[in-house]
Amino acid sequence: MKAANETNPDVTTEVAGIKLNSPLVLASGILGTSSDILKRVASEGAGAVTMKSIGPVEREGHPNPNVIEFGFGMLNAVGLPTPGVDNVLQEMEELKTSPVPVIASVYGSTVDDFVMIVEKLKPYKPAAFELDISCPNKEDGLAFMASEDVVYKLVSSVKKAAGNIPVIPKLSPNTHSIPRIAAACKKAGADALCAINTASAMVINIEARKPVLAYKKGGLSGPALKPIAVRCVYEAYQATGLPIIGTGGVTTGRDAIEMIMAGASAVGMGTAVYYRGISAFREVLGEMKEWMRNNNVRSVKEIIGAAHY
């Protein structure tokens, strides 16, 4: 029998019944504006790709600057630009030939918005619906995180509309209680969770005496967000046991392993694309395998939630 450090570690995983050849998932809002670029990210090593969040009607987003990198991570207030669900259907059609599962991220202001979008996208059979209830950069972006009742009503309604397509609510760190919101999602029938979205933040240019982002505040991502994300994933896993796409500041193989040990079954990457380019997916997977070989870990599945005791 070969020792574990001589074999190729098993990096396959599963989230809400979706089988992934790599645990590394392109997070929503990063590059996911067209089918061509999503397919390219897929061909460069991502295990799954998430589309940029799709809204009910066309929306331009906020004026610039709406993304900055400030030394410890990024802030963005892109403001959910979307062609609107009716203008996305052609891209959905083209994504049917994606080499990896495609997750459709959706947002809306009301339960009816979410249900309407999910019903229109359902015929194109995305691998899952991610519910963006956690964008800090839209007036009502966090409304569904405000109470367990509200999030329960949303997730249960979407679940009914989605049929057999899995539903994955994406949680915000800007909430009174990750465990309570996560538990409400589970009770409503969520198949998995994505945690976390960016954290509301601000950077001021002191010479201009103004916040740099045109929206003034924005969502924090990148290395500065990672410890918050790890805590949220840990809490959500403990509270629900649901599979989690752990997202927030992962830029290296060690970061990804840490997120998995907190309880993630798959790992979202977004801002890493700034630090390492699209090749981040292949490189981080290589670093994960190297760590697994050196530490006699044969399979990603055996370390999910390993940090819980």
Residues with a known catalytic role:
135
| Site for other proteins contains 212 (CB under 8 A) | yes
Judged by CB under 8 A, which of 1, 6, 60, 97 binds other proteins? 60
CA angle, corner 29, sides to 304 and 135, nearest 5? Answer: 85
| Site for other proteins contains 28 (CB under 8 A) | no
| Site for other proteins contains 83 (CB under 8 A) | yes
C-alpha 53/C-alpha 170 separation (Å) is: 11
| Site for other proteins contains 143 (CB under 8 A) | no
Q: Specify the stretch interacting with other proteins by CB under 8 A; choose among 73-81, 157-165, 257-265, 288-296.
A: 73-81
Residue 102: strand pairing partners? 49
- By DSSP bridging, strand 193-195 and strand 167-171 are parallel
| Site for other proteins contains 61 (CB under 8 A) | yes
Judged by CB under 8 A, which of 7, 72, 112, 176 binds other proteins? 72
| Site for other proteins contains 63 (CB under 8 A) | yes
C-alpha 182/C-alpha 293 separation (Å) is: 33
Q: Specify the stretch interacting with other proteins by CB under 8 A; choose among 70-78, 110-118, 160-168, 184-192.
A: 70-78
Closest to other proteins by CB, 169 vs 270, is 270
Closest by CA to 128, choosing from 192, 186, 187, is 192
Interface residue list for other proteins (CB under 8 A): 29-34, 36-37, 39-40, 52, 58-61, 63-72, 74, 76, 78, 81-84, 87, 91, 203, 205, 207-208, 210, 212, 214, 223, 251-252, 270-279, 283
